[in-house]
Amino acid sequence: MFDSANFKHHISKPVFKREEGKLREALLGAQFDLKEQHRFPVLILIAGVEGAGKGETVNLLTEWMDPRHIHTSAFGNPSDEERERPANWRFWRALPPKGEIGVFFGAWHTMPIVQRVMGQIDEGEFSYAIGEIRRLEQMLCDEGVLLLKYWFHLSKAQQKKRLQSLEQDPDTSWRVTDVEWDYFKLYDKFIKVCDPFLRQTSTGQAPWIVVPGADPRYRALTVGRHLLAAMRERLDEKPSKLLPDKTPPLPAPADKVNVLSSLSLDQPMTRTDYKKQLEKWQGRLNRLSRDPRFKTLSVVVVFEGNDSAGKGGAIRRVTGALDARCYGNISVAAPTEEERAQPYLWRFWRHLPRQGRFAFFDRSWYGRVLVERIEGFCPEADWMRAYSEINDFEDSLIRHNTVVVKFWLAISKQEQLRRFKERKVVAFKRFKITEEDWRNRKKWGVYETAVCDMVDRTSTASAPWTLVEANNKYFARIKVLKTMCDALEQALERAEHKKKR
C-alpha cells in the first residue's frame, strides 16, 4: 500500500506559491457552497507515521479556509468523562454537522493499531476492531458524511532523517523525545500491522488516501487538491449518478401469532398488592444502585410502547427509587435543528451516562424503525440498515459495561380508547392527548408489524426486549421494576466475576 509513497517527491517553491493561490480560492469557494447547501458534513481523518507532516498540513488547511467552519479535534489520552463512556463517544461528540468540516487527528483507527503494535491486543481483538470500524464508517457514509481518510507516510529512511533534522534545529528539538525514537524502533512492526489494516478498512466509499509525507509542499498540494476535488464532486452531484436501492422487503407473517398477540395484556394486580410490591422492589433497586460494584457500570433504559401505555408513569416509579443525582431523563421528540444536521444516532450518543449513572430514554433510537418507518420520514434503505446499526450501537455500550434494558409497554386497542377518552375529560390529563395520537391510533396494524419486526431484529442475547403487559398499570410498573432489579443483579455479578479474574 505504501510503494509510491516511498518515492522522493518535490514541488518547488515558485510552483507551490502559484498553485497555492488558486487552490486556496477554490477551497474557500467549495467551503462556502458546503455551508450554503447545508446538505452534508465533511469529515477528514488524519493518520499515519510520526513526523510525516500531519500537523503542518492541517495547519495549512485551516489557514487556507474559513476557520469558523473547520473544526479540528486531536484525540490524545481520553479524559475521565470520555473513559467512562464507550470508546467512540468522544468521536461522536466531535462530529461536524452538515455544512461544516471536521478534522480528526488520530480517530478510531489509532487505538487498535497502537495496541496491536504493542502486543496489547491479539489478532482476534484486532479483527473485531477492524469490523467495528468498517461498520461505523459504512454508517457514516450511508448517513451522508463525506469521509476523507488521509494516511501520511514516510519510508523508514525518511522518518529517520526527519527526526534527526527536527532534533538538530533548536526551534524544533523539543518535538523529538525518547518517545519518538522508541516509536521509530517499531517502524517495521508498525508497517506490518498497518498494511492489512489499510487493506481491510479501505472501501469504495471511504478509501484510504496514502500521502507521501517527506516534502511539505508536495503533501500539502496532494491533500488540498484531493479535498477540493472530493468536495466539488459531491457539491456538484448530478442526478444521473444514482444507484438503485437494493433493500429487500421484510417477511409478512403467515399467521396472527406474534410477539404482541402472544401477550395476555390483562394481568391482575390490586392496588393494595401494588403498594406492597412497589415498596419492596423500589427498596431493592435502591440498594442495588448503592452497591459499591455499581460504580464500574452504567445503565441505559429504553421505554417504548403504544401511546398512553404508561411509559411516563413507569419511569417515575423507577426513578422514584433512585438518588436524583445518579440519573438523567431523556424525553425523545422530533430532533432539534442541531440534531438534524448530524447522523441519526448522534442525538442518543450525546446523552450516554457516565459510570455509576442511569439514563432513562422515554422513546429512543427505535423511532427510526417505528415512527420514521411508518410515516415515511426516511427511505426504506435507511430504516432497514438501522436494525444492524442499532445492534452495533448497543453492542458497543455493552462492551463498555453498560447495562441495556429495553421495555415495550403494550396495551390493547380497547384500553387505549378508554385512556384517550379519559384524558379528554380529566383536566390535568388533557395536555397528554393530541390529534396526532388519534392519527397514530388509525395505524394500529402497521405499528404492530413494525414493533414485531423491531423485536425480532433487535432482541439480542445481551440486550433483549422485555415486553410488558400494560393494560393494568400496577402490574406493568412492578414488572418494569423487577426486570430492572434482575438486570442489575446479573450485571453486578458479572462485574465482580470480571474483577476476580
State whether residue 151 is helix, strand or coil.
strand
User: Which x/- pattern over 428-457 shows residues binding a second copy (rule: CB under 8 A)?
Assistant: ------------------------x--xxx
Residue whose CB is less far from a second copy, 355 or 449: 449
Select the span of 81-89, 343-351, 378-386, 480-488 touching a second copy (CB under 8 A): 378-386
Q: Which of 89, 104, 346, 465 binds a second copy (CB under 8 A)?
A: 465
Q: Which of residues 69-128 bind a second copy (CB under 8 A)?
A: 122-128
Q: Is 245 in the site for a second copy (CB under 8 A)?
A: yes
Cell numbers for 37: 447547501
Q: Which of residues 123-152 bind a second copy (CB under 8 A)?
A: 123-128, 130-131, 134, 141, 144, 146, 148
Q: How far is the CB of 265 from a second copy (least distance, A)?
A: 16
Q: Which of 381, 417, 426, 446 binds a second copy (CB under 8 A)?
A: 381
d(CA 195, CA 124): 16
Q: How far is the CB of 372 from a second copy (least distance, A)?
A: 14
At CA 394, angle to CA 392 and CA 398, rounded to 5?
115
d(CA 55, CA 476): 56
Select the span of 103-111, 228-236, 271-279, 370-378 touching a second copy (CB under 8 A): 228-236
Residues 453/459/464/465 CA torsion (nearest 10 deg): -10
Instruction: Mention every residue, 6+ apart, whose C-beta is less than 8 A from residue 214.
Output: 8, 9, 52, 154, 155, 158, 162
Q: Which of residues 325-344 bind a second copy (CB under 8 A)?
A: none
**DSSP 8-class letter at 397:** H
Q: Which of residues 269-288 bind a second copy (CB under 8 A)?
A: none
Helices (H), 247-379: 271-289, 311-319, 337-340, 346-349, 371-374
Q: Which of residues 157-196 bind a second copy (CB under 8 A)?
A: 191-192, 195-196
Residue whose CB is less far from a second copy, 257 or 324: 257
At CA 469, angle to CA 466 and CA 472, rounded to 5?
140
Q: How far is the CB of 273 from a second copy (least distance, A)?
A: 29
Q: Are 88 and 108 in contact (CB under 8 A)?
A: yes
Select the span of 299-307, 406-414, 424-432, 458-466 touching a second copy (CB under 8 A): 458-466
Q: Is 30 in the site for a second copy (CB under 8 A)?
A: no
Query: For strand 101-105 and strand 208-212, is the pairing parallel, antiparallel, or unpaired?
Result: unpaired
Q: Which of residues 248-267 bind a second copy (CB under 8 A)?
A: 248-255, 257-259, 262
For residue 177, the one-letter residue type is: T
State whether residue 153 is helix, strand or coil.
strand
Q: Which of residues 202-221 bind a second copy (CB under 8 A)?
A: 202-207, 209-211, 218, 221
Select the span of 90-98, 236-244, 305-313, 353-361 touching a second copy (CB under 8 A): 236-244
